[in-house]
Amino acid sequence: MNCQTEQTITFNSDLTGGERFPENQMAPCDFSTTSFTWVRNGDLITQSVTGEGTFVNEVIVVNSTQLQVVVIERNGTAVPQNQQEIYKYEK
């Protein structure tokens, strides 16, 4: 089983959401979940995660089958371009 494909993110119409992700790379099938609130403003999605802070994601691709974002800001601090990671989700 490829547990990486089990990672999910959900954006609900009431501006809440949830993410299911591997807790660490050494145990990829050991998942954690987190809840968040979100708002979209143009090509930016801002997620507020209790206990973790606020993340600003730039939308690279969004359509009926996929979402690709890059985190450009964490807790008010810009993420250096050489440390930015693209997250890809498929429906």
Q: Would you state the pLDDT for residue 22?
A: 77
Look up residue 44 and give its amino acid. L
Q: Give every CB contact of residue 77 below 8 A, 6+ residues apart in sequence.
A: none
pLDDT in tens, the chain (91 residues): 566 667 788 999 999 999 988 777 676 678 888 999 999 999 999 999 988 999 999 999 999 999 999 999 999 999 999 999 999 988 8
Q: Supply the pLDDT for residue 5.
A: 61
Q: In this predicted structure, what is the pLDDT of residue 30?
A: 80
Sketch out the chain's domains with CATH numbers: 3-90 (2.40.128)
